[in-house]
Amino acid sequence: MAAVFRQLFVDFFSTIVFLAVYAATGDILIATGVAIAGAIAQFIRARVKREKLDIMTWASLGLVVVLGGATLLTKDPRFVLIKPSIAHFAIGAIMLRKDWMLRYSPPMVRDNIPHLATIAGYAWAVLMFVLGAGVIAVAMTGDVKLWAFYVAVVAVGAKVLAFGIQYVIFRIAITRKLRAAAAAQPSS
């Protein structure tokens, strides 16, 4: 689980930096410049440490530089604000692969309810697409405070809530299956 959170932090590092700097300064251009510098520094650090750079790292760097650059040139925050939506869409597209979730599921889920994990995987893809569309809708308002609330509270809260719901459903389904199997066995 720690590895998953670490990877999410790495993937959304520039967005986190942007939010922190914007919260501290209230200046969209400073926050954008620091986010671009942070993304470049993150990339350089990974190269120096000879870490393998996956497609999300390359895409994130490109998006931050291009969209951040457009924001700095035009002084229009909407360019940099749509960046998280692209990440949500990319992740959603990956989640459309059948059984992607089984790879991340504990053996108890894989052995007892693999069909529910598949359904949950598709539900997560839908959630990512909806959240990505929400990021765009909020970004188009140009209201950076509303966008920051959406990205930091609504999007994160929706994922935490979805995880909690999934956990409860999986737990109930596994418990029912194990009880039914125990009841079906002949008594000694």
Distance CA 173, CA 158 (A): 22
pLDDT of residue 64: 86
Q: What is the pTM of this model?
A: 0.76
pLDDT of residue 126: 97
Cβ(14)–Cβ(42) below 8 Å = yes
When pLDDT is cut at 50, 70 and 90, the band that residue 109 belongs to is very high
For helices 2-11 and 55-74, give the axis angle rounded to 10 degrees.
30
pLDDT of residue 153: 92
54-97 pLDDT, tens digit each: 666 777 788 889 989 999 999 988 888 898 898 899 889 989 99
When pLDDT is cut at 50, 70 and 90, the band that residue 150 belongs to is very high
21-42 pLDDT, tens digit each: 988 998 989 999 999 998 899 8
pLDDT of 123 > 60? The answer is yes
DSSP-derived letter for residue 1 is -
- Average pLDDT over every residue of 5-14: 71
